[in-house]
Structure formats: C-alpha cells, structure tokens
Amino acid sequence: MKNEIEKYFDLLWPITRSLTGNGNRKTLKILSEIVDMEIHEVPSGTACLDWTVPPEWNINEAWIKDENGIKIVDFAINNLHILGYSIPIHTTLSLNDLKEHLYTLTDYPDVIPYLTSYYKERWGFCISHNQLLNLKEGNYEVNINSVLDYNGSLTYGEAVLQGELDKEILISTYICHPSLANNELSGPLVSAFIYRELEKIKDRKFTYRFLFLPETIGAIVYLSKFGQRLKEKLVAGYVITCVGDRGDFTYKRSRTGNSISDRAAELILKQTEITYLIKDFFPGGSDERQYCSPGFNLPVGSLMRTMYGFYKEYHTSADNKDFISFEALQNSVFKYLEIFKLIELNGHYLNKFPYGEPQLGKRGLYPSLGSQKKKELFIDALMWFLNYSDGKHDLIEIIDKSGIDYHEFYSVISRCVESGLIDKI
Amino acid sequence: MKNEIEKYFDLLWPITRSLTGNGNRKTLKILSEIVDMEIHEVPSGTACLDWTVPPEWNINEAWIKDENGIKIVDFAINNLHILGYSIPIHTTLSLNDLKEHLYTLTDYPDVIPYLTSYYKERWGFCISHNQLLNLKEGNYEVNINSVLDYNGSLTYGEAVLQGELDKEILISTYICHPSLANNELSGPLVSAFIYRELEKIKDRKFTYRFLFLPETIGAIVYLSKFGQRLKEKLVAGYVITCVGDRGDFTYKRSRTGNSISDRAAELILKQTEITYLIKDFFPGGSDERQYCSPGFNLPVGSLMRTMYGFYKEYHTSADNKDFISFEALQNSVFKYLEIFKLIELNGHYLNKFPYGEPQLGKRGLYPSLGSQKKKELFIDALMWFLNYSDGKHDLIEIIDKSGIDYHEFYSVISRCVESGLIDKI
Amino acid sequence: MKNEIEKYFDLLWPITRSLTGNGNRKTLKILSEIVDMEIHEVPSGTACLDWTVPPEWNINEAWIKDENGIKIVDFAINNLHILGYSIPIHTTLSLNDLKEHLYTLTDYPDVIPYLTSYYKERWGFCISHNQLLNLKEGNYEVNINSVLDYNGSLTYGEAVLQGELDKEILISTYICHPSLANNELSGPLVSAFIYRELEKIKDRKFTYRFLFLPETIGAIVYLSKFGQRLKEKLVAGYVITCVGDRGDFTYKRSRTGNSISDRAAELILKQTEITYLIKDFFPGGSDERQYCSPGFNLPVGSLMRTMYGFYKEYHTSADNKDFISFEALQNSVFKYLEIFKLIELNGHYLNKFPYGEPQLGKRGLYPSLGSQKKKELFIDALMWFLNYSDGKHDLIEIIDKSGIDYHEFYSVISRCVESGLIDKI
C-alpha cells in the first residue's frame, strides 16, 4: 500500500490548493481514482451558519523581480511563496514598501512560512527570513496574476460506503493546503486509502461517510446543510490530519470526552502502542472545532501522529516529502481500520446463562484437565466476556477492564455465538 | 488458638478429598467438632443451573510397579499422585504408553503437581518431573482401585449462627482438595475457628452462614437451591481461601467493587496493615466466580494472604505444612473478626443536634480547659462522627474520611448513645 | 494599605478580648472607623441552639506576688497571663497549692500559653514553663479582680454592603482573642480592609455580610437567629483567620467540597501561587465548624496562611507582632478580593452562535492573517469561552479546563458582550 500512497502523494503534491479554486477540483479528481466521491460546488456568497462562502480564488502566476529583472521569488517554484488569497497586483516599489508585503519567520529563518488572508483583501509573499535579510535596497517589480471571483464556488467531495445500518461513522479531512506534506496531504491520502480498504469489507455494520473539505469554511458549509442529520446518525467520527510524520500517535478526544470514538481509539492505542499521547478536547485545532461546537457536540475526535503546532516544520516549507514517511502513512491507515473494526464489534452482549458460570467444559470451551497452574488467555477472555455481558457493560469496557489483548475477544465472541452462550442486544 | 488450629490441621491433612466422596464426609465430621453444621448429600445426576452433579468418586488404592514389582509411585504415600477422578484400571504397559498418563511440571521439576479430570473420564498419575526423567524403559504394572458411583452423592456442610436480624453474612470455603495446606486446608480451618469465636458473641446483629463445599460445583449446587434467598438476605460475604501462608494480605473485591464487604475489609487493612494488596474483581479464581456471576452479583469478596496462582507452591506437593504458619492462620481468623465487628457496627447514625455543634462540654465530652494546643483523638473522632452523622454517610465512610483509628470510633459511638446525641437509623 | 493595617494592629493589640466584655466592645468601636457596622448585644443566659450565652466577663487586675511583695506575674504586662474567664480570688497560698492554678507548656518552655475556662468556673495563671521551674518555695499572694456578670451580654458586630442582588457572600471572623497576632488579630484586620476595598466598588452584584464575633458561641448565637436566612441567601462564605504570617496560603474546603467558595478560591490559588495547600473539610478548627454543621451545611470555607495548630507559636505569647508581616496581611486582603471578583463574574454564559464557530474575524476578534504558527492567548481564551458557554459549564469550570490565566477571560467576557456573542443567564 505504501508505494501507492507515495504515487498519489507525488501526483497531489504540486497542486496549489486553497479554500476554493481549480487546485481543489484537480485534487478531488485525482482522489476520485481511489474514492467514489460526489463533488459538490457551493456558490460564493452562500450564507452558512454565521459565515458566508468566500469568492473563489485562482492564481496563475506570482513573482518578484529585482532591478536586473531576475525573479528572486517565484510562485512557480514554490506555491507557499504566495500569501493565500492574495489579490492581483502589478507594480514596482522600493524595498521598504515591499517589506510590508513580505512575511517571514524570524525564529526559523531558512524556511518559507505558509500564510493566508482569506477574509481580508491583501497581497503578499512568504519568503525565508534569510532571504529577507539579504535583499538589497532598490526597486522591485511585483506581479500577482490572481482572480478573486465572486461568482465562483467552493468545492468539496463526499463519499459514502453504505453499511447494514444507517448509523454513520464520519471521516473528515481537508484539502485546502498547497504543497505541504504532513499538514496536509497526509489526511486526504490516509482517508482515501481507508476508503479503499473498507470498501473491500462486505459486512460493514455502519455506514461510512467521507468528507474532503476546505478547512473551517468547508465544515461550516457542510454542517449548515447536514449538521442536524449528523446529530441523528453519527456513532463516531474522526478528523484525519497530521498522520504522516514519524512521531508517536496523538489522540485528541471529542468534546464529550467519552464518546465511542474516544473509547475505541484509546483502547486500541493502549493495547498496541508503547508511547502515545491523549489530549482532552480543546476548542482550537482543525475541523473538530466545528463538529464539536456546542450546538452540534458531535462525537468527533482526531487520531493524529505529531499534532498540528507541535512540530517546528508545521505550516512551513519544511513540512515536505522528507518530513513524512510512507510507512507511517500506511500504519495510520491500519490503525484507523483497527479502530473501526472495534467500533463495529462493540455493543452490549447478553450472557444467556447469568446464574453461576455456564458449564464451559461440556461445550468444549474449557480444558478437561482441571487445576492446571496456567490458564490460556482465551479462557480468561471468555470468562471476562461472559461475566460482564450483563447488558450494562459494552465490549470496549469489558476488554479494557480485563487488560487482555482485544484480538482474543474477537475469537471469544465468535465461539460464544456458535455455542449459543450469548445474544447481541 | 494456633495450637488447636495445628491439631485440626494434622487430623485433616492425610484425608483424600475431592468433589465428592468419603474423604469429604470424614473432613466435615472432624470439622463438626468445632462447627455445629448440618451435612447435606445431593445425589449424583442432580441438575443444578447449567450443571449436573457428577458421580461420586472414591479411591482405595493406586500404584505403579516397575518390572521388579517395586512400587515406584504410590497413592498411599502421597494422595496427590493420583489424577483426581481417575477411573479404575489394572494393566501392564510400556513406558511410552504409560507416559501418556503421567503428569508433571517441567518448570518446577521436583514437586508433584495437583491435577484432576472431573468431567472427562481419564486415568493418570502425577509425579515429579525429575522422577519422570529417571524412569527406565520397560513394562509397568498400573493399578487404580477407584469407584465412580453414579448413584452416589455430593456432600457439603452448612452452619448458621442466628443473629438479631435475618440479614446474613456469608462465609464460604472449600473442602475438595486432598493433602494441600494453604490451598486448601487453610480456608476450612480459618472458617471453623471464626465460627467458634463468633459463637461466643451473644449480641450478634447479623446471622452468619458458613458453607463448606466442594469448589465450583458445590457453590453451583448451593446457588441453584438458595441463590435467590442469598440475593435477598446477604449483607456481605467472603470466600475464605489461601489464608495460611506468611505473605501479606490480599483483598479481592466483590464484583460491584464497593459493597460493604469491600469497604469494611479495605478499611481494616488500611488501618492495620502496612503493606497489602487490593485487587479488583476478576471473573476467575474460586467460588466468588459463582457468587459474583452476573445473575446473582452478590457482595462476596475474598480476603486472602498470597492469592491462588501467585506463589509457586500453588497446586503442588510443596503447598504443605512447611509452607504455612499457624500464627498466620490465627491472624487471619482475627482479621476476619475485626471486619465482621466493623460491619456489625456500620450503619447510618443521626446526630440529633445538627444545627451548630452540640455543646459537648456540658455533657462531659469536651475538655473544660479551652484553647489547648493539642486535642485528644477521642474529641477529633467525636467531631467527625457528629458532623457526618447526617443520614448520608455511614460509619465506614466517616472513619475513612477522618483517617482516625477505627477503635476510637467504637468508644465515640457508645459515649454518644449514652449522652443521647445520636440515633441509629 | 499595609501601614494602615499596622496602625490598626497597634491600636487593637493591647486590648483584652474574650467571649464577652468591654475589650470586645472597644475592639468593635475601633474597627468601626473602617467598617460601618452595627454592634449587637445578646444578654447572658440567652438560649441559642444547644447552647446558652455565658455571663459577661471583665477583668481589671490580676497578679501574683512573692513573699517580698514583688509582682512576679502581672496581667498588666501580658494579658495572656490570666486564664480566660478566671473567677475573682484574693488569697495567699503555698507554692504547691499555687501550682494547681498555673498553666505552662513543657514542650515550649519560654512562652506563655493562651488558655481559657469559659464553661467551668476556675481561676488560674498562664506562665512560661521556665518561670515555673524557677519559682521558689514559699507563700504567694494571688489577686484576680475579675467580674462574671450574669446580667451582662455578648457583643458582636455586623456590617452589610448591599449589592444588586440579595444573594450574599459571608465574611466571618472572630474577636475573642487577647493579645495574639496571627490568631487572631489578622482575621478582623483583613476583614475590615476587605470591607473598605469592596465599599469602593460601585457595581457589586452580591451583598457582602461581615461578622465580627466571639468564636464558637458567637457563631452559634448568630446561626440561632439568622441561620435559616443564611441557608437561603448564601452564595459563598469564608472564615477569615490566621492570614498574617509569612507562610503559604492554605485553603480549607467547605463541607460540600465543591461549593463556589471552594472552586473560586482554589482556582485563584492554582493560577497565582506556586505552592499552597488544599485541605478537605474537617469538623475541627474555627467557626466553619458551626457554619458547616450538618443542619446548616453552608458553603463556607477558609482561606488562611499557615493553619491554626500548624505553627508552634499558635496560642502562645510568641504569636506576636514579630510573627506576622503587614505585607502578608495586605496580600491576604488582595487575594480575597480576587476571589470575590471571580465569584461576581462567575455564572453560566450562553454562546448565541452555538452551531459551528461564530465568524470572529468579521467582528474584529480574530487575526485576518491566517495559518499563523502562534496564536494569541486572548484568542485561545475566547475560543474556550465560546465553546463551553453552553449553559452547562460556568466560568470557573471553563477557566479551569482551559488552563489559561483568568485575567484573559475578563477581557474575553467584555469583548463578547460588546460583540453580542453571549448572553448571561
């Protein structure tokens, strides 16, 4: 899988994405090779909750030339050079005047920062601080060939894998970042490959909904249309972002702090990872801010690797292909799949023989040689499962209480079903 | 007391006990010298919950002779040599064929393991692994003179010390182990001596019920008959097992985790022991598995010393008289008695002067010399007791909150009753 | 402020205070220069809850002379020398007989202890243990010129700063200690200066009630009259005592353990102090014993510095002006004011845009330059406040969850009110 992820990474990397625009359309088209998605267009100016869809932005060209006509900054070389949503300009100005439109990072002087100005009309360039320090006095020609189209639209993709039930699991990721790797091509890539794997499973209990949106405004748009339906249908959900670096996993809880999303993700991490980080919900970050706004309060968490803002390459040109690992991306896919499997199997089971232990021996579920000093893990898991399948404890609780590997319980469940020992409620 | 415990240990030690049989009857008869118990017989084949009472097993003789007619393994020397519930056999076979019927412990090569085959017809011998390694090629004569009687019965003992109330405290222990010391002659011995001490107390509030049962099937039999009554009457209960070794106390909680059994045992351990272990309920172990099955969910915990499975001598010939201490057995009796006393006194008391402090000085309960730098512990305990005797906190909660020695509260209660400061609800 | 506190300390220090008497009246008169209080007299013999107001005690003179007529102990030199509430006596007795009336501290031999005998008629002197050891054989003349007046009264002061609401915050302190500094002139002084500062605030939401009482019996008297009203009106309350030493703050929780008093005091300590101590409620100590008796169970805690009984100078002549710091007293005033401000602002706010985030940018509350690596603390606090202002979390909870400095939230609240983003419930 990881080679294919890399192939799609290379295809998607050069595209200039933003809140809106042709780069986003192109991105969704490429992802459509993996994900059978519908692509939606929402007109600029559409009111959504407290917000309005911004004009569509596209850019063809952007550069700064020095007095010798040499391009010293060129969007064609790195699309981070342009301040996102820059308005068009073609002018010549002095270094001092130019500096008001140059953005750098003093703390991290050799990288280009990633910056935007979506809701205030501005133009600007992002360059490394070292380059800024080396700029000579003189006049500079600036050219930004961009279009802000008030009759344009915002583009997002949606895909659904129907399950046995209408109850849904949401996978939401964002497609508005230009050439950045961990934050964010990792999210759309991992989401797409999760789709491909889930599609292969024929007896999915839940319906899986995938959203490929521009961050914030995309989630706002979606919630303004379908937020109430999500409130009714959603069992669990995750915002997938920052899943490509080499760091440990970080799980950010949903706002309720004990949703199925949280409990499943945390159990899987606890049993499969040596070191990982759990963070309580906080109302910053990515689109979980919108899903977990108090009016919706959806069970949406986020399983990441190193969290946004917690690595120095974040939102700079150093968040590039070198920074990520395709092994890590692939493992992120598998980790999510493990979580989904646990959510599918979770629920309240009912031991049909709750008075005393059922006699397991006569059902071939207990060793006929008694008083042995060591018991198999299977027997332990079986006894936990039977004792606590009382209609009050769900599978996740039982596994967690037992401390036994969750895989053991998967065979316990099927053996118990075969033997007629349990019902599923 | 400890010399008497030893006397009874020596009487009980040589007897071959099992799920059923004459060894169990003999054991109960000896214990009847201390405990005024009724002995019940339940016919083999009786259905009980999901189980059936097995045939009665008795054994007279069992040995293996080598080619020279020398007994190399003899049940008469150690009753652990016989696989429990072995069917009768008299034959001669080669070493290779014999080996299929020999059970050893490779990890612990110099001891005889304790093993049974209650529910599958088998025969076998348990020997040390070292002995196995030294067996020479050749033919061996095997003789097991045992009887599996489908018209037999299962035997258990029950004793009741009636209290002022019908509400009960259960003491359950098991009598199905042959010559093993900590697990299990310690449980029946400690239970019997608890009985003897409780019998001397004339104003017992609760009724104490003692069960001397074969493990698992005995508890299943009892619960199938009287489980519903226990559900109605039981205030607290303990499975007494592994209480004779020199280790620290271990308390295994009942399934609810905060029953009176749990709270009383834990408070006594907290205040009287420096090191001890608390274990949450887990659905393995001894008869608490049955009492705490989800349908009954009784408040039954277990105060042990080193827990079953947690010492290497467990279920081997090394669990013998040397392994236990009669001092430890005696202290186990006293520890249980302390717990029962606390449960008897526990309850919700009501401070009749809840508005402001009652004036303790005029009742002789407060020093007349004011502003002293040090206060007596009695006064502290008294103030905790009065302030929290609001009908919401029971005695155990109050003692635990206060951190003051529970003995102090026993005099506080009697002084408060004398002074008319409190009512018991 | 600290110089003024010192001025009043010097005025109040020499006065002989007790449960009753002219010293208490004089103390309240001096405090009336700062606090506009009503002074109440409650006749001796008045029944109050389980108690009776004791006779009024006044003392003019008390000394012991040796055989040479030299005053070796003189109340005029240190009013701790007299056992509080000593009955009058004029006699001559041997050293041995005298010793029965002398109180010392063997553990702390160079200080005079502070002792009383309010409810048992006694006479006695308190002296240093070293002085006791040096007393020579011989006869001693003893003179105590005191009056126990059964037609006297108990005196207390009460002041009210009316707020917008009738809901009240209680400040209770005690005035019954003679020349002792931390315990207790610090409490009345800090209470009085809190009054003076709160009086300046024009838009107080809550009504502040100040009580200057003799300890225990004063609170009992007050509760017997107004306890039911306090139960209805009290939002929060504190017993102010031991607030003048140089130690860290100690907060003793109210009996409920999570009252607004507790939550506000603990949040302020957590955010403003490096080291401090939180103590769960215990039913000893000062007048919180009465306010938190189970019948009243008022939300009254106590923010102290080093707690009564936890410093060796406690209740001795070493608890004097050297032991306290006027800087510390002033800081205690400010700490209480911070707590009151937080309680005034606390409450449940309601985000009027609970679906998705409100668009902060268009209200000038969010930076127009997006994707910046660092966010201002104000924005973080704002997002916490909006997300959790759902009617279920009050301000204290939100601040505590966020971990952000509470000051930040004060500007967040006013900016949100201006912008019409929130309502206060």
Inspect the interface and report whether the beta carbons of A384 and B283 lie closer than 8 Å: yes
Least confident residue range of A162-166, A290-294, A365-369: A365-369
Inspect the interface and report whether the beta carbons of B295 and A355 lie closer than 8 Å: yes
State the Cα–Cα distance between residues B261 and B255, nearest whole angstrom.
11
Of C356, C368, C383, the CB nearest to A117: C368
**What does the H/E/C string look like for A197-211?**
HHHHCCCCCCEEEEE
Please give the C-alpha separations between residue C95 and each of C64, C76, C135, in angstroms, as whole numbers: 11, 22, 8
Residues of A in contact with B216 (CB under 8 A): 357
Report the b/e string of C157-171 with b at 16+ CB within 10 A: bbbebebeeeebbbb
pLDDT band at B169 (very low <50, low <70, confident <90, very high): very high
User: E strand or H helix at A304, and its extent?
Assistant: strand A300-304
Inspect the interface and report whether the beta carbons of C115 and B389 lie closer than 8 Å: no
pLDDT band at B374 (very low <50, low <70, confident <90, very high): confident
Question: What's residue A19's pLDDT?
Answer: 97
DSSP secondary structure code for residue B339 in this structure: H
State the Cα–Cα distance between residues C403 and C413, nearest whole angstrom.
16
Inspect the interface and report whether the beta carbons of B290 and A354 lie closer than 8 Å: no
Chain pair A-C, CB pairs under 8 angstroms: 89
CATH fold of the domain at C56-149: Glucose Oxidase; domain 1 (3.50.30)
Inspect the interface and report whether the beta carbons of A295 and C355 lie closer than 8 Å: yes
For residue A242, the one-letter residue type is C
Q: Residue B299 pLDDT more than 90? A: yes
Residue position matching structure tokens 């499973």: A201
Residues of B in contact with C223 (CB under 8 A): 355-356
Of A115, A219, A290, the CB nearest to C372: A115
Of B368, B380, B390, the CB nearest to C284: B380
Of A224, A294, A314, the CB nearest to C387: A294
Give CATH for domain B2-54+152-345. Answer: 3.40.630.10
State the Cα–Cα distance between residues B372 and C130, nearest whole angstrom.
19
Q: Residue A358 pLDDT more than 80? A: yes
Helical ranges in C284-405 per DSSP H: 288-291, 326-345, 377-388, 395-402
Percent pLDDT > 90 in chain B is: 96
Residues of B in contact with A383 (CB under 8 A): 283-284, 289
pLDDT band at A325 (very low <50, low <70, confident <90, very high): very high
Residue in B369, B380, B386 to test binding to C, most C beta-carbons within 10 Å: B369
Is the Cα dihedral B71, B75, B76, B79 positive or negative?
Answer: positive
**pLDDT tens digits for range B203-261:** 999 999 999 999 999 999 999 999 999 999 999 999 999 999 999 999 999 999 999 99
Q: Residue A317 pLDDT more than 80? A: yes
The CB-based long-range contact list for A197-201 (8 Å cut-off, 24+ gap) reads A197/A333, A197/A337, A198/A161, A198/A337, A198/A340, A199/A161
**Can A2-54+152-345 and A56-149 be said to share one CATH topology?**
no
Residue position matching structure tokens 């970042």: A177
Residues of A with CB under 8 A from a CB of C: 49-51, 84, 103, 105, 113-120, 122, 216, 219-220, 223-224, 227, 255, 280, 282-284, 289-290, 292-297, 309, 314-316
What is the average pLDDT across B347-357?
96
**pLDDT tens digits for range B264-281:** 999 999 999 999 999 999
Question: What's residue A33's pLDDT?
Answer: 98
B347 min Cα distance to partner chain A (Å): 29
Question: What's residue A367's pLDDT?
Answer: 85
Q: Residue A368 pLDDT more than 90? A: no
Strands B207-213 and B168-174: parallel
Inspect the interface and report whether the beta carbons of A115 and C369 lie closer than 8 Å: yes
Inspect the interface and report whether the beta carbons of C375 and A284 lie closer than 8 Å: yes
B403 min Cα distance to partner chain C (Å): 11
Q: Model's pTM, two decimal places?
A: 0.93
Q: Residue A238 pLDDT more than 80? A: yes
| Joined tokens for residue A113 | 């920062």
- The SS3 call for residue B228 is helix
B205 min Cα distance to partner chain C (Å): 28
Per-block mean pLDDT, blocks of 10 residues, chain C (425 long) = 97 98 98 98 97 97 96 97 97 97 96 95 97 96 98 98 97 97 96 98 96 98 98 98 98 98 98 97 96 98 96 96 98 98 97 96 87 83 96 97 96 94 89
**pLDDT tens digits for range A4-50:** 999 999 999 999 999 999 999 999 999 999 999 999 999 999 999 99
Please give the C-alpha separations between residue A348 and each of A391, A408, C150, in angstroms, as whole numbers: 5, 17, 73
Q: What is the CA angle B51-B56-B60, rounded to 5? A: 150
Residue in A19, A46, A50 to test binding to C, most C beta-carbons within 10 Å: A50
Question: What's residue C424's pLDDT?
Answer: 83
Percent pLDDT > 70 in chain C is: 100
Give residues with Cβ within 8 angstroms of C243, minimum separation 6.
C182, C186, C187, C190, C303, C304, C305, C328, C329, C332
Is the Cα dihedral A62, A64, A69, A70 positive or negative?
Answer: negative
Closest C-alpha among C204, C191, C209, C167 to residue C333: C191
Strands A125-126 and A102-103: parallel
Residues of B in contact with A354 (CB under 8 A): 293-295
Q: Give the domain ranges of chain C.
A: 2-54+152-345, 56-149, 349-424
CATH fold of the domain at A349-424: Arc Repressor Mutant, subunit A (1.10.10)
Task: Name the residue of chain A whose CA is nearest to B313's CA.
Answer: A373
Question: What's residue B183's pLDDT?
Answer: 93
Q: Residue B372 pLDDT more than 90? A: no
State the Cα–Cα distance between residues A200 and A1, nearest whole angstrom.
14
**pLDDT tens digits for range A116-141:** 999 999 999 999 999 999 999 999 99
Residues of A in contact with B223 (CB under 8 A): 355-356
State the Cα–Cα distance between residues A161 and A35, nearest whole angstrom.
10
Give residues with Cβ within 8 angstroms of C22, minimum separation 6.
C58
Cα radius of gyration (chain B) = 26
Question: What's residue B167's pLDDT?
Answer: 98
Q: Residue A375 pLDDT more than 80? A: no
Residue A82's CB is within 10 A of a number of other CB atoms, namely 26
| Joined tokens for residue A167 | 């109850």
Question: What's residue C16's pLDDT?
Answer: 97
pLDDT band at A310 (very low <50, low <70, confident <90, very high): very high
B383 min Cα distance to partner chain C (Å): 6
B77 min Cα distance to partner chain A (Å): 21
Closest C-alpha among B317, B352, B385 to residue B109: B317
Inspect the interface and report whether the beta carbons of A355 and B227 lie closer than 8 Å: yes
Question: What's residue A424's pLDDT?
Answer: 83
Residues of C with CB under 8 A from a CB of B: 49-51, 84, 103, 105, 113-120, 122, 216, 219-220, 223-224, 227, 255, 280, 282-284, 289-290, 292-297, 309, 314-316
Closest C-alpha among C408, C410, C417 to residue C376: C408
Of B118, B224, B280, the CB nearest to A370: B118
Residues of B with CB under 8 A from a CB of A: 49-51, 84, 103, 105, 113-120, 122, 216, 219-220, 223-224, 227, 255, 280, 282-284, 289-290, 292-297, 309, 314-316
Inspect the interface and report whether the beta carbons of A283 and C386 lie closer than 8 Å: yes
Of B371, B373, B383, the CB nearest to C283: B383
What is the average pLDDT across A319-325?
97
Residues of C in contact with A122 (CB under 8 A): 368-369
User: E strand or H helix at B349, and its extent?
Assistant: strand B349-351
User: Subunits that touch chain A (at least 3 Cβ pairs < 8 angstroms)?
Assistant: B, C
- The SS3 call for residue C125 is strand
Give residue B240's Cα distance to chain centre. 1
Give residues with Cβ within 8 angstroms of A6, minimum separation 6.
A326
User: Subunits that touch chain C (at least 3 Cβ pairs < 8 angstroms)?
Assistant: A, B
Question: What's residue C367's pLDDT?
Answer: 85
Give residue A319's Cα distance to chain centre. 16
Residues of B in contact with A382 (CB under 8 A): none
State the Cα–Cα distance between residues A199 and A208, nearest whole angstrom.
10
Question: What's residue B371's pLDDT?
Answer: 72
**pLDDT tens digits for range B3-44:** 999 999 999 999 999 999 999 999 999 999 999 999 999 999
Inspect the interface and report whether the beta carbons of B370 and C122 lie closer than 8 Å: no
